[in-house]
Structure 1
Amino acid sequence: MSLHLRRRQRTVDALSTAGIDLLVCGRQDNVNDITGAHQLWTAGTRLPAPICTLNTATGELFLLSTWDEGIPDDIDIHHLHGITWNGATMARRLAATPGMADARRVGIDAWSPGMARLIGSIAPRAEVIPVDDLLARARRIKLAPEVAAIRAACAVAAAAVAAARQHPGDDHQRLAAGLEAMARAGSSTPATAPRVQGPLVDFGCIRSHYEGGLGRTAPPTAPGAAPEERPHADLIAACLPGASGEDLRRAAPDGQWLVRGCGLGFEPPVINPRHGAAELIEPHMVLSVSALVGEEYARDTVLITEHGPEIISPELP
């Protein structure tokens, strides 16, 4: 079974357990997760809108897409609908979704009063439920092909970091060199704002929907510190199965640090000095672990195995 179908089944199982009849998605990460569609990337923010609808019982998908390029074959071409700025047209399309009229519970992400009113008007007998946390929990534990995709994205980020560190120009020129190297390596979509500030270099990218990231400080002509000497070394070592956010706080360095989920972009759990003390680390999570102590910074992407943390971001030359 292809990866996107396995992910979709994971989502359907979670929705079925929660008694959700229909899912209406407006967040692009959730749409990517359940459809596997490669849609045009756009910069900036946008208001929540119904991009994708999933019928839990039948598995039918209805997707906002003006063409079928990048759309998996398992999504019926007749279930694609074009962009509209007409709210009445959007409401009619949603109302025509099989199962909407009889739905008892409809889950929506990116909750807003407008979305809740829209669903309530076309499914008057349904309870409208925010499902952001449910969807995040469903993909908290990564499948093996997801880990492979994150590794590939990390390799792209590493190529960007290496190029920026080796370029002899100023910060702006080094940033441009890193972005060019990232595009050549397989992604032109940043996951986070790239940072090139003197010796500090950090790049994150999205490749085939998945995020990879890497960051370091070191003189451009000198090798980076050994893993056990980096500012986040003790923090990574503390990322053991069953460890809590409070355990990570005790192991963290005195400085700025962050441990957070890595997958289809920035994901839970989120643990830092002020947040996430009750979070638990589980096997097969993938985490982004970063720390800034004084002027020394490091970020790595870490897979949690049954035996402990494994750094999956590549070593820089």
Structure 2
Amino acid sequence: MSLNRHRRNRVTEALVGAGIDILVCGRQDNVNYITGAHQLWTAGTRPFGPICTLNTATGEVFLLSTWDEGIPDDIPFDHLHGITWNGSEVTRRVAATPGMATARRVGIDSWSPGMAAMLGAVAPEAEVVPADDALARARRTKLAGEIDAIRAACAVAAAGVAAATARAGTDTERLAAGVEAMALAGSSTPASEPLVRGSTVDFGCIRYHYEGGLSRTAGGDPELTTGLIRACVPGATAADLRRAAPDAGWLVRGCGMGHEPPVINSRYGTGEVLKAGMVLSVGADTGTDHRRDIVLVTESNPEILSPEAT
């Protein structure tokens, strides 16, 4: 079974468990997870729109796309609809989703006044509910194919760190060298603002939807995050991570299709419990020494997915 199908099955199972008949998605990471489509990447913010709808009973997906380039074969061409600024046309397309008119519960991952009015018109009998928790449950632990994709993205980030570290010149020139190296290694899409500040370099990228990252300070302490990484085991709580954390600013957060839950530091994340299969960005910063790795929580010892920058 393809990775796309495995992910969609996970989402469908989570939505059915939440009693959701139809999902309407506007967040690009959720759309990517459900469809596996490679769509145009844009920077910045945008208003919420129904990019993807999923019928949990049939598994049918309807997707906003002006063409079928980059669209997986299991999404038929007649399930695609093009971009339009006509609100009536958007409403008509969403209303045409099989099962929408009779849905009892519609899940959403974003909201706007316009969306409220539209869903009230196209699904008059439905209760509209947030689907964020169900989607987060489906995405919380990673499939084997996802781990491979994250590992490959980490290799791209490491190429950028290596190039920026090796380059002589100003921080701007070194930053350019690192970004160029990442593009040549397989991705020009940043997951975060690339950082080159003196001896510290931090790069993150998105490659085929998945995030990779790495941060190093030349001459820094290689043990800065060792205790924190060792604490990333199944059953570990925020309190366990805090006890293992260095005397520095630190952050442990989910890593997948960009930043994901959980988010744990000295103040946030109480109540979070780690599970095998989670992938985490584990970082610490003393002000002069910064170190970050992408770490897989396994049933035994944590596995660092970030290669060393060489």
- Same fold judged by TM-score > 0.5? yes
**What SS class does the counterpart of residue 308 from structure 1 fall into?**
coil
Residue of structure 2 aligned with 1:286, choices 279, 283, 298 = 279
Unaligned runs of 5+ in 1: none
What amino acid does structure 2 have at the position aligned with 1:185? A
Aligned residue number for residue 305 of structure 1: 298
Matches within 5 A, 1:155-304: 155-218=155-218, 225-226=221-222, 229=223, 231-304=224-297
Aligned residue number for residue 145 of structure 2: 145
Question: CA–CA distance in 2 between the matches of 1:265 and 1:211?
Answer: 5
Question: CA–CA distance in 1 between the matches of 2:159 and 2:309?
Answer: 8
The answer on whether the counterparts of 2:171 and 2:197 sit within 8 Å (CA) in structure 1 is yes
Q: Count how many residue pairs are aligned between Structure 1 and Structure 2.
A: 310
What percentage of residue pairs aligned between the two structures are identical? 69
The answer on whether the counterparts of 2:4 and 2:36 sit within 8 Å (CA) in structure 1 is yes
Matches within 5 A, 1:89-168: 89-168=89-168
Moved over 4 A (4+): none
What amino acid does structure 1 have at the position aligned with 2:217? T
Aligned residue number for residue 71 of structure 1: 71
| CA offset digits 1:229-259 (Å, max 9, x no partner) | 2x21111111111010111111111221100
The answer on whether the counterparts of 2:278 and 2:296 sit within 8 Å (CA) in structure 1 is yes
In the superposition, the TM-score normalised over structure 1's length comes to: 0.96
| CA offset digits 1:243-300 (Å, max 9, x no partner) | 1011111111122110000001100000011100210010010000000024111000
The answer on whether the counterparts of 1:241 and 1:308 sit within 8 Å (CA) in structure 2 is no
Question: CA–CA distance in 1 between the matches of 2:93 and 2:118?
Answer: 12
Question: How far 1:72 sits from its partner (Å)?
Answer: 0.6
Question: CA–CA distance in 1 between the matches of 2:169 and 2:8?
Answer: 46
Question: How far 1:225 sits from its partner (Å)?
Answer: 4.6
What amino acid does structure 1 have at the position aligned with 2:115? M
| CA offset digits 1:83-123 (Å, max 9, x no partner) | 01111110111111111000000000023333223212211
Question: CA–CA distance in 1 between the matches of 2:251 and 2:242?
Answer: 10
Question: CA–CA distance in 2 between the matches of 1:316 and 1:94?
Answer: 47
What amino acid does structure 2 have at the position aligned with 1:132? D
Question: CA–CA distance in 2 between the matches of 1:20 and 1:240?
Answer: 32
Aligned residue number for residue 39 of structure 2: 39
What amino acid does structure 2 have at the position aligned with 1:247? D
The answer on whether the counterparts of 2:221 and 2:289 sit within 8 Å (CA) in structure 1 is no
**What SS class does the counterpart of residue 158 from structure 1 fall into?**
helix
In the superposition, the TM-score normalised over structure 2's length comes to: 0.98
Cα root mean square deviation, aligned: 1.0
Question: How far 1:164 sits from its partner (Å)?
Answer: 0.4
What amino acid does structure 2 have at the position aligned with 1:120? G
